[in-house]
Amino acid sequence: MAGTQGLDLEELILRGKLTISELDDAVLRCTGCTQPGSCENWLAAMAAAPENDAPPPAYCRNTSLFAELAGG
């Protein structure tokens, strides 16, 4: 999901913009998703149309983190 938002989490960690703990929390939020099938379909649609810059789906539990990272 982060990749569809133009975010390279490894690079953000190396630059000190994201901590390992924050990444761990994001992974836990993702694995606790209540709509993994919908997420998989959304990710497939984004992969098929890479020029699409749609925000994450409303149900994504990491939307605020991605917005924060993209903004700064």
72 residues of the chain, pLDDT tens digit each = 999 999 999 999 999 999 999 999 999 999 999 999 999 999 999 999 877 788 999 999 999 999 999 996
Q: How far is CA 43 from CA 6, 15, 34, 36, 59, in A?
A: 13, 26, 15, 10, 13
